[in-house]
Amino acid sequence: MKILHFYKTFAAHQHGGVEMFIRHLTHATSRQGCENVVLSLAPEGASSEEGPDYRLVHAKEDFNLASTGVSLSSFKVFAELAKSADIVHYHFPWPFMDVVHFATRVKKPTVVTYHSDIVRQKMLKCLYTPLQNAFLNSVDAIVATSPNYIKSSPVLAKYPNKTTAIPIGLEESMYLPVQPEKVAELKLQRGRFFLFVGVLRYYKGLEFLLQAVEGTDWPLLIVGAGPLEQELMKMAAEKKLHNVHFIGQVTEQEKVNLLAACYAVVFPSHLRSEAFGISLLEAAMFGKPMVCSEIGTGTSYINQDKVSGFVVPPMDALAMRAAMTELWASPELAARFGAAARERYLKVFTSRSMGESYTRLYTSLL
């Protein structure tokens, strides 16, 4: 089967959640006999390159408005690529994609992976809703990334007969091997430490995490950069949180070593903009106990309360502190949660399982 994926951004060096998902999905489905083409936009201009699991085609991005890339040339490129595809696989949300879908009138079976509701841009959402509804009505199948998201999304509630859940899966072999000497060095340097990994955005809930560790001596490493980095660093300085260390962006190798070395992973996202939480899934893959918030999305599908870690109310620094205190006080509990997290990853969240599920869906549509 030939699958055409369409998403606003995709390149080998990009590690956003949707980009990582597409990378792991194409790896998995290529093992199932699928031929994948990924069409995306790039400000640098049109290009094409072959990879082991997909062919990447870039159309030139002409401008970007409210995180929505627009490309006039992509209409023609999309229509041409869709002619030879068996399935068109869209990645939602991206309003311009809906326009291309209707303008090109491609008559091929269509799948949408519904990555997230539109949460923050409320004014634009009002304007976009009629187009969104028409688009979702027109496609053949909608896939959410967790059963939790289907239950909590008011948009998906409108399409019960065409919506299913296929959890995101990760291919462990696509990660660099852990460097034992670097891990030993980290443990010697840092001792036991909590770890957060992610882009420092408004919905990550890091202000509540900083409140949770105030007055404690637990080392907390915050890995990543983003719009709130300076604001969070200022907050930590004002509170004299000498146990909080902002590491900034790291390489993939450094991230792997940090995940292997840490005591537990904390993921305090408090808004539904955090639709799944791939960093949390990486923690489960590494067999780490987790603390996250209940926001009705994939975070509490990955991390089961009192099984693989603790799930606390969102924006509740005291509840987060209590969970971290209990974990810190009991290495035996942390080890048990970590083993359960790893077991759940192997049972539910491998890329092979994800690839088989999508391949079955593709086949059913054909």
Tens-place pLDDT, residues 314-343: 999 999 999 999 999 999 999 999 999 999
Structure confidence at residue 166 (pLDDT): 98
DSSP for 302-348 reads HS-BTTTEEEE-TT-HHHHHHHHHHHHH-HHHHHHHHHHHHHHHHHH
Other Cβ atoms closer than 10 A to 289: 28
Q: Which amino acid is at 272?
A: R
| Assigned fold of 173-348 | Rossmann fold (3.40.50)
Other Cβ atoms closer than 10 A to 228: 16
Over residues 64-104, the pLDDT tens digits come to 887 789 999 999 999 999 999 999 999 999 999 999 999 99
Measured between alpha carbons, how far is 30 from 267 in angstroms, rounded to an integer?
A: 32
Measured between alpha carbons, how far is 20 from 243 in angstroms, rounded to an integer?
A: 31
Over residues 293-304, the pLDDT tens digits come to 999 999 999 999
| Mean pLDDT over the full length of the chain | 96
Structure confidence at residue 252 (pLDDT): 95
Among residues 254, 264, 247, the alpha carbon closest in space to that of 333 is found at 264
pLDDT at 119 over 80: no
Would you say the pTM of this structure is higher than 0.85? yes
Measured between alpha carbons, how far is 222 from 200 in angstroms, rounded to an integer?
A: 9
**Helix (H, G, I), strand (E, B), or coil: what is residue 114?**
strand
Structure confidence at residue 220 (pLDDT): 98
Measured between alpha carbons, how far is 174 from 46 in angstroms, rounded to an integer?
A: 27
CATH level 2 (architecture), domain 2-171+350-365? 3-Layer(aba) Sandwich (3.40)
314: exposed, middle or buried (Cβ count in 10 Å: 0-12, 13-18, 19+): buried
14 contacts 48 by C-beta, under 8 angstroms: no
> In this structure, what DSSP letter does residue 160 have?
T
Measured between alpha carbons, how far is 100 from 115 in angstroms, rounded to an integer?
A: 19
- First CA to last CA across the chain, in angstroms? 9
Measured between alpha carbons, how far is 305 from 339 in angstroms, rounded to an integer?
A: 14
pLDDT at 120 over 90: no
Structure confidence at residue 14 (pLDDT): 76
Among residues 229, 158, 175, 222, the alpha carbon closest in space to that of 27 is found at 175
Q: Say yes or no: do domains 2-171+350-365 and 173-348 share a fold.
A: yes
Over residues 152-202, the pLDDT tens digits come to 999 999 999 999 999 999 999 999 999 999 999 999 999 999 999 999 999
The domain spans of the chain are: 2-171+350-365, 173-348
